[in-house]
Amino acid sequence: MRGPNMAMDDYDKKLRLEERLRKKLSQSGFKYLRKQPAETTARQRIDLLKDRYLTEEYGKLVSAEGIMRSFVSTFNDYSLISDRARAVFTRDVKRDSYGKPDLRKVQRSMLRLMKSEGIGSWDYVSHEVVWCVSFAQLEIAELAPTDPSSFAKGQAYEIACLEALKALSTDVNLTVPGADFGADIVFSLQELRCVAQCKNLNKPAGVRAVQEISAARDHYGATIAVVFSRHGFSTPAEELAISNRVALVDGLDISSLVRQVPALRAAA
């Protein structure tokens, strides 16, 4: 007769097996599915995973096919948000004193992104969220040596602007990529709600940046709209900024923003 301790041991073993399978899928399974033709159906992808991963270790795991079905669904959904998911990871990943990534903030941001895109309705960090974080991490690692330009530089500049603004305010937050409505950063300054867009282009930022942050100011109910640009602004952008009450900041010159706030406050 099986006692309660033996039943508990079996349950714990099942949970450990499930977790190992999920981890294996999130690494090699993601890369394996990407090699398959784009027209491969969900059912075919599940069968491919079963053939590859249902070894003797997992063969008796009743939940294995359900896990694979959920993995394939997440893989398909991720393809719709991959750019924004990588941006979430790059923005929010932190590292501990040993250099190991701390993914807790990334997972929470990924959950918000997925919900905003209608992918899942969880109120907690599910296995699907963890998988998407893992997918983004793998893609960033692959892109880093080959494409360190626009994506990585853009994210790095946003983080630099964020850190510079923290010298002025304790209420500074990045928006969720893909659902930012034209603003990269929302912050408070001198008791005013502010929105900012960050442009790290290889040329001066143009009128589009001014137009987008003006719309974002209305959407967020902000008083101050700011555009940061690593390489300055075009003359039309400067002219439009005056009529649209938008602060323009070269590089990370936060003192310039502080000087512009009184006039913008008076004109609001």
pLDDT per residue as tens digits for the range 148-201: 456 667 788 888 899 899 999 889 998 876 666 889 999 999 999 999 999 988
Band (pLDDT 50/70/90 cuts) for residue 8 is: low
Please state, rounded to an integer, the average pLDDT across all residues of the chain: 86
* Domains recognised in the chain with CATH numbers: 4-143 (no CATH), 150-267 (3.40.1350.10)
Q: Length of the chain, please? A: 268
Kindly state the average pLDDT of the residues 118-126: 85
Query: What is the reported pTM?
Result: 0.55
For tokens 């990871």, the residue is 89
Indicate if the pLDDT at residue 203 is higher than 90.
Answer: no
Provide the percentage of residues in the chain whose pLDDT is more than 90: 43
Exposed (0-12), middle (13-18) or buried (19+): which is 1, by Cβ within 10 Å? exposed
pLDDT for position 67: 93
pLDDT for position 6: 47
Q: Cβ atoms within 10 A of the Cβ of 41, count?
A: 9
Give the list of residues 6+ apart from residue 209 with CB closer than 8 angstroms, or none.
197, 199, 227, 229, 237
Indicate if the pLDDT at residue 147 is higher than 60.
Answer: no
